[in-house]
């Protein structure tokens, strides 16, 4: 297990859709251990594998004291009720913008034993599930912002680079 360095925009790994995990081997077990250890730090809610430079579909979360992970997650349900709250990202440090997300999300995937798991939640957990799945699809939260807000965020981001 190791605390891993976080990749930041414009690293191309963040814009590349991640590959499905096809075999649970020592590499994948090590990845999950690193994801769990790296997300277990103050101020961290979630962490996708590509944020630590690994293009495999897996992420970890740290929500309200609960730490977990899911391999090959896919969103299977989003609630109709929306939430519009501030969102930030470890890969876009220092930026925080209002981002519309579903207030409920359910993700299905597998665990390290290859057994099916379901992770669901409302509020911050729903936001995390959507945010991290977006990462695995090669998106960052800035892609979800309203047009004018996105322009402002991109100007701020360019000024920081």
**Binding-site residues for Fe cation:** 89, 131, 135
- The one catalytic residue in 80, 132, 148, 156 is 132
CB atoms within 10 A of CB 11: 14
Q: Could you give the CA distance from residue 50 to residue 17 in angstroms, rounded to a whole number? A: 9
Q: Is 132 a catalytic residue?
A: yes
Residue of 149, 156, 24, 155 whose CA lies nearest to 86: 149
Residues at the binding site are: 89, 131, 135
Cis upstream peptide for 10 (omega within 30°) = yes
Residues with catalytic roles: 132
């Amino acid at each position: 297990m190791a605390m891993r360095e976080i990749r930041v925009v414009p690293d191309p790994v963040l814009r590349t859709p991640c590959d499905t995990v096809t075999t649970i081997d020592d590499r994948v077990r090590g990845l999950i251990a690193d994801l769990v250890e790296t997300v277990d730090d103050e101020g961290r809610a979630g962490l996708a594998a590509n944020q630590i430079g690994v293009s495999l579909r897996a992420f970890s979360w740290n929500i309200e004291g609960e730490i977990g992970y899911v391999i090959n997650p896919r969103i299977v349900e989003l609630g109709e009720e929306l939430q519009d709250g501030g969102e930030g990202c470890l890969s876009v440090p220092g930026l925080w913008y209002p981002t519309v997300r579903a207030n409920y999300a359910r993700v299905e995937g597998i665990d390290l034993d290859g057994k099916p798991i379901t992770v669901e939640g409302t509020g911050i957990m729903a936001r995390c599930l959507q945010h991290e799945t977006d990462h695995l699809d090669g998106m960052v939260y800035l892609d979800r912002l309203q047009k004018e807000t996105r322009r402002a965020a991109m100007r701020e981001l360019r000024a920081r680079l």
